[in-house]
A and B are shown apart, each in its own frame.
Chain A
Amino acid sequence: MSAPADNRPAHTIVPPSGWPLPDLRELWGYRDLVYFLARRDIAVRYRQTVIGAAWAIVQPVAFATVLGLFLTLFGRVPTEGVPYAVFALAGMSVWLFVSGSLSSTATSTVASSALVRKVYFPRLVIPLAAIIPSIVDFLVALVVLFVAMAIFGVAPSGNIVALPGVFLLAVLVAFGAGLWLSALVVRYRDIQHVVPFLVQVGLFVSPVLYQLDLIPERFQAVYSLNPMVGVLEGFRWAVLGTSPPGELLLIPLTVGALLLISGLVFFTRAETTFADEV
Chain B
Amino acid sequence: MRSDPALRVEEIGKRYWVNRERPASTLGEALTRSLTRRPGRRGSGDEFWALRDISFELSRGEALGLIGRNGAGKSTLLRLISRITAPTTGRIFAFGRVATLLEVGTGFHPELSGRENVFLNGAILGMRRHEIQRKLDAIVEFSGVSAFLDEPVKHYSSGMHVRLAFSVAAHLESDLLLVDEVLAVGDADFQRKCMGKMQHVAGEGRAVVFVSHNLNAVQRLCTRALLVESGRLEMDGAPGAVAARYLERWGPAQTGGTAVIGDEVARVGDGRARIRRVTLTDLSGTELTAVHFGQAFRVRMQIDVFEPVPEAVFEVGIASADGDRLATAQSIDAERPTTPLAPGAHAVEATLRMTLLPGEYALTVGVHRRNGITLDYVEGVLGFSALNVAESGSDHYPWRGVRGYIRPDSVWSAPVAADPPPSPAIR
Which A residues are closer than 8 A to B by beta carbons? 1-3, 5-16, 29-30, 32-33, 35-37, 39-40, 43-44, 47-48, 114-121, 184, 187-191, 194, 272-273, 275-276
Chain B minimum-CB-distance residue to A271? B86
Is the contact region of chain B dominated by helix, strand, or loop, or is it mixed?
loop
CB of B141, distance to nearest CB on chain A (Å): 19
Q: CB < 8 Å: which of A2, A13, A272 contacts B175?
A: A2
Inter-chain contact B123/A36, CB cutoff 8 Å: yes
Distance in angstroms between the alpha carbons of A114 and B124 in the assembled complex? 12
| B87 interface neighbour in A10, A14, A29, A115, Cβ under 8 Å | A14
A194 to B28, CA, bound (A): 11
Q: Assess A15 versus B175: contact at CB under 8 Å? Given A5-B60, A48-B111.
A: no
Query: Would you give 17 A-B contacts (Cβ < 8 Å), ordered by A?
Result: A2-B60, A5-B3, A7-B5, A10-B98, A13-B94, A15-B88, A15-B90, A36-B119, A39-B116, A43-B116, A114-B107, A115-B107, A118-B100, A119-B106, A187-B23, A187-B25, A276-B85
Please determine whether B30 and A188 come into contact, CB atoms closer than 8 angstroms.
Answer: yes
Known: A120-B83, A188-B27, A275-B84. A10 touches B94 (CB 8 A): yes
1/0 contact string of B80-122 vs chain A (CB within 8 Å): 1111111111111111111010110011010110001001100
Binds A, one of B125-133, B219-227, B277-285, B328-336: B125-133
B336 to chain A, nearest CB (A): 45
For residue B26, CB closer than 8 A to chain A, the reply is yes
In the bound complex, residues from chain B placing their C-beta under 8 Å from that of A190 are: 26-28
Which A residues touch B128, using CB under 8 A?
Answer: 29, 32
CA distance in complex: A190, B97 (Å): 38
> How many residues does chain B have at the interface if contact means C-beta atoms less than 8 Å apart?
56
Given known pairs A2-B204, A48-B111, the reply for A120 and B82 (CB within 8 Å) is: yes
CB of B27, distance to nearest CB on chain A (Å): 4
Complex Cα distance, B95 from A8, in Å, reads 7
| Residue B369, interface by CB 8 Å | no
Known: A3-B96, A188-B25. 17 other contacts (CB 8 A): A2-B60, A5-B3, A5-B4, A14-B87, A15-B89, A29-B128, A36-B119, A36-B120, A37-B123, A115-B106, A120-B100, A121-B124, A188-B24, A190-B27, A194-B27, A273-B85, A275-B85
How many Å lie between the Cα of A1 and that of B112 in the bound state? Answer: 32
Q: Closest approach, in angstroms, between the C-beta of A275 and any C-beta of chain B?
A: 4
Residue of A nearest to B30 (CB): A188
Q: List residues of chain B with CB under 8 Å of any chain A CB.
A: 3-5, 8, 16, 23-28, 30, 60, 79-98, 100, 102-103, 106-107, 109, 111-112, 116, 119-120, 123-129, 173, 175, 204-206
Q: B103 — nearest CB in chain A belongs to which residue?
A: A118
Whether the pair B123, A10 counts as a contact (CB closer than 8 A) is no
Are B102 and A119 in contact (CB-based, < 8 A)?
A: yes
CA distance A190 to B127 in the complex (A): 35
Establish whether residues B84 and A117, one from each chain, have CB atoms under 8 Å apart when the complex forms: yes
Enumerate chain B residues within 8 angstroms of A2, measured Cβ to Cβ: 60, 96, 173, 175, 204-206
Q: How far is B173's CA from A13's CA once the two chains are assembled, in angstroms?
A: 21
Give the distance to chain A from B124, nearest Cβ to Cβ, in Å. 6
Which residue of chain A lies nearest to B97 when distances are taken between CB atoms in the complex? A10
In the docked arrangement, what's the CA distance between A47 and B28, Å?
37
Complex contacts, A48 vs chain B, CB 8 Å: 111
A272 touches which one: B25, B30, B60, B86 (CB < 8 A)?
Answer: B86
In the bound complex, CA of A39 to CA of B113 (Å): 12
Q: Report Cα–Cα, A120/B92, bound state, in Å.
A: 15
- Residue in A3, A12, A43, A119 whose CB lies within 8 Å of B100: A119
- Which of B23, B26, B85, B94 meets A11, CB within 8 Å? B94
Residues of A within 8 A of B127 (CB): 32
For residue A6, which residues in chain B have a CB less than 8 angstroms away from its CB?
A: 95-96
Residues of A within 8 A of B124 (CB): 33, 36, 115, 119, 121
A136 to B249, CA, bound (A): 60
B87 touches A15 (CB 8 A): yes
Q: Least Cβ distance of A160 to chain B in Å?
A: 34
Q: Which 8 A-B pairs have CB atoms at the shortest separation, nearest pair first?
A: A9-B93, A190-B26, A188-B27, A13-B92, A120-B83, A33-B123, A32-B129, A275-B85
Task: State whether A13 and B112 are in contact (beta carbons under 8 Å apart), knowing that A2-B204, A5-B60, A35-B129 are contacts in the complex.
Answer: no
Give chain B residues whose Cβ lies under 8 Å from the Cβ of A189.
25-26
Residues from chain A with Cβ under 8 Å of B175 in the complex: 2-3, 10
Provide the bound-state CA to CA distance between A151 and B119, in Å.
Answer: 42
Inter-chain contacts of A3 with B (CB < 8 A): 96, 175
